[in-house]
Structure 1
Amino acid sequence: MPENEHGRIIASEAKTVLQPAGFRRKGRSRIWIADRGFWLSVVEFQPSSWSKGTYLNVAVHWLWGSLPQTLTFDRSERVGGFVEFQNSAQFVPLVGQMARKVLEIDQINRSMFPSVQATATILANELQPGAYGEWAAFHAGVAAGLAGDFETAKRLFVSAQRHAASQAQVLLGYIDDPGAFRSYARGTIEDERAYYGLGALPATIAI
């Protein structure tokens, strides 16, 4: 189906601003992704069911296989409100502003999650005692295990709820063998990287 005018503007502005920062468009969708090693930086110019225009969602997707081959928005925020398309002259600069805001947030995320050690600390500290989100304990557990804190990883996997519990149980099977745990977790990361058309995990990423 041919792309509509506001869709073409979003694609053009996103390409101009985001592509130099390592983002690429996911197919013909309004989603753009960038390789950050063991995670993806994800941008969605989300359409509305009622009006022409876009919302902006910016997210982190952990590449350790909570839902293999599903682009989950594991840490997500909606930036601002809906920007309605009225005409090209009005819409172009607004979408450009959105795209430039993405770069600011992406840089913050990159500074927060440069390594699995830093990520493990942040994810564990963000957990609310007795009120974990369904996948929060799982993601924090994987990060803890990759950072070498297997006691914390085990505790978090045991606490994982609902759908996350089955994934956590798989990793619990490796929890007493650090080498096997890292090998399995790295394998899931490499598999997801391959699925999204990325190369091998960079040697600068210690896992």
Structure 2
Amino acid sequence: MPTDHNAVITSQARQVLKPLGLVRQGKSRVWIDDHGWWTIQVEFQPSSWSKGSYLNVGINWLLYEGSVGAFNIGSRVDVPFIDATGSESFEQDAHGLALRAKDEVEKLRTQFATLEGAASYYRISGRRRAWDDYYYAVVLAIGGDIAGARAAFESVPTHRMQYGWEKALAQRAAELHKLASNRTAFIETIRGIVLRTRSIGMPEWESDFVFP
């Protein structure tokens, strides 16, 4: 077994996640399931105190510039930290963590396979942040629920608007609110946002975006 615990984690992730179509992000411990305008992220998160890994899995919407790498839905998976220090079973533990990541990816693929699945998540779970209202509104508008989208866009500035990024988000929501009834213009605007977002550290998307 390699002595480098990072190499062990990478080896097990490659064995389990690569056949699913996930791609490792550079030389990091992050693996990406790329769906064009959204991704599922798997992060074998290191600890500041011990060699090993936590597991984070979640959705990253590419619907706002600069959002690459964020966990917009999900994050820490409820599994114990696997500790490489003095562990003779670390390779087995890493394999088990990769298998759990696979399970989480498959669940998210199913749950968010359609626009309705994404909208349903926000409808059921509630929207506690301005980001939640923003992404919910975009998904609704893409899906053709203009009234619902406008209501969600209007909710964005009802959250705290203290920092510059919060005010910028509210401004973007107001701009998209105006476009919501013009589907062609709205989709083209979202397409531009996605392409600009992908240009920050992600490969080019060669085909057209599919909004199922």
Q: Give 1:72's aligned residue.
A: 70
Offset of 1:22 from its aligned partner?
A: 1.1
Offset of 1:95 from its aligned partner?
A: 0.8
| Letter of the structure 1 residue corresponding to residue 37 of structure 2 | F
Confirm or deny that 1:133 pairs with 2:129: yes
Offset of 1:87 from its aligned partner?
A: 4.4
User: Which portions of structure 1, spanning 4 or more consecutive aligned residues, are displaced by more than 4 angstroms?
Assistant: none
Contact 1:120 1:147 in 2 (8 A): no
Over aligned residue pairs, what C-alpha RMSD do you find? 2.2
SS for the counterpart of 1:29 is coil
Which of these residues, 165, 168, 175, is aligned with residue 170 of structure 1? 175
Q: How many residues align?
A: 200
Q: Distance in 1 between matches of 2:110 and 2:155?
A: 29
| Letter of the structure 1 residue corresponding to residue 47 of structure 2 | S
Q: Distance in 1 between matches of 2:131 and 2:60?
A: 12
The TM-score normalised by the length of structure 2 is: 0.85
SS for the counterpart of 1:64 is coil
SS for the counterpart of 2:203 is coil
Structure 1 residues 177, 171: CA separation in 2 closer, same or farther (over 3 Å shift)? Answer: same
Structure 1 residues 69, 125: CA separation in 2 closer, same or farther (over 3 Å shift)? Answer: closer
Structure 2 gaps, min length 5: none
Offset of 1:20 from its aligned partner?
A: 1.0
Contact 1:35 1:198 in 2 (8 A): no
Structure 1 residues 198, 166: CA separation in 2 closer, same or farther (over 3 Å shift)? Answer: same
Q: Distance in 2 between matches of 1:34 and 1:101?
A: 15
Contact 1:11 1:30 in 2 (8 A): yes
Q: Distance in 1 between matches of 2:48 and 2:120?
A: 39
Over residues 19-61 of structure 1, what are the superposed CA-to-partner deviations in whole Å (9 max), with x where a residue is unaligned? 1111111112111111124310101111111111111100111
Contact 1:58 1:77 in 2 (8 A): yes
| Letter of the structure 2 residue corresponding to residue 70 of structure 1 | V
| Letter of the structure 1 residue corresponding to residue 104 of structure 2 | I
| Letter of the structure 1 residue corresponding to residue 190 of structure 2 | A
Contact 2:12 2:98 in 1 (8 A): yes
Contact 1:127 1:137 in 2 (8 A): no
Confirm or deny that 1:147 pairs with 2:143: yes
Q: Give 1:49's aligned residue.
A: 48
Bigger drift between 194-203 and 8-17 goes to 194-203
Q: Distance in 2 between matches of 1:88 and 1:25?
A: 25
Offset of 1:124 from its aligned partner?
A: 2.6
Offset of 1:89 from its aligned partner?
A: 3.7
Over residues 170-201 of structure 1, what are the superposed CA-to-partner deviations in whole Å (9 max), with x where a residue is unaligned? 31231232221111112222333454104234
Q: Give 1:111's aligned residue.
A: 110
Alignment of 1:10-89 (within 5 A): 10-65=9-64, 67-68=65-66, 70-79=68-77, 80-87=79-86, 89=88
